Chains A and B, each alone.
Chain A
């Protein structure tokens, strides 16, 4: 079974703090993704990575950065957290390097609250 794990289920941070969200997958998947999910706005892609050290911006990259130093790990970084980044963050991974035909497997999510 594919397993995607995220470092925290719930996280509370202060405005201006630097926040790291970690995601690990155990199936040697090429692609990894970070989404945020908000009521009424749905699931929106922040960044994705198709290889180690490779990244591409998604639809809403502003205020975020990412790091992929190892194939199995993809980190989302909020350089200076703001209240409008309060959200559910979901990590996903998929197997192949190209083609949207590959199933994306999601982690359990991290609910981040920025006060």
Chain B
């Protein structure tokens, strides 16, 4: 059974700080990873995807993938109160890669 694990939090950071969210996965063969953001009462929405070892940057967000250590992280620079949400890490859930398996999510709270 493939697993994706995250610390549930809550992770609390002050406005303007860097928030670091981490995720580990069990399947060494997984190639694709995703970070979804879910505001309270809303549906998840994709914010970053990463397929290669190293860093991928998109605005204030940086995803990092280390396949040797089987971890994925998401850094949010200059955190804003509007970043307060639950962040879901997801990896490939089946052989064909058509389905995802999600971690339980980390709740981030950014205080102003």
Contacts and interface: CB of A to CB of B under 8 A. Distances in A.
Interface of A: 31, 33, 35, 40-45, 48, 50, 56, 58-59, 90, 97-101, 103-104, 106-109
A106 B34 CA distance: 14
A90 B93 CA distance: 17
A19 B45 CA distance: 27
Interface in B21-55: 31-32, 34, 42-46, 49, 51
Secondary structure of the B contact surface, majority rule: loop
A31 B100 CA distance: 12
Contacts, number: 67
A108 B39 CA distance: 12
A43 to B, nearest CB: 4
A41 B98 contact: no
A29 to B, nearest CB: 12
Given A98-B96, A100-B32, A100-B92, A45 B45 contact: no
B101 A99 contact: no
A64 B43 CA distance: 22
A108 B38 CA distance: 11
B98 A108 contact: no
Given A106-B45, A109-B43, A45 B93 contact: yes
A107 B101 CA distance: 18
A99 B44 contact: no
Given A45-B100, A99-B98, 9 more contacts: A33-B99, A40-B8, A40-B104, A43-B102, A56-B94, A56-B98, A100-B99, A101-B51, A104-B100
23 contacts: A41-B104, A42-B104, A43-B105, A45-B93, A48-B98, A48-B99, A50-B98, A56-B98, A58-B99, A59-B1, A59-B93, A97-B98, A98-B96, A98-B97, A99-B96, A100-B32, A100-B34, A100-B98, A101-B49, A101-B51, A104-B100, A106-B45, A108-B42
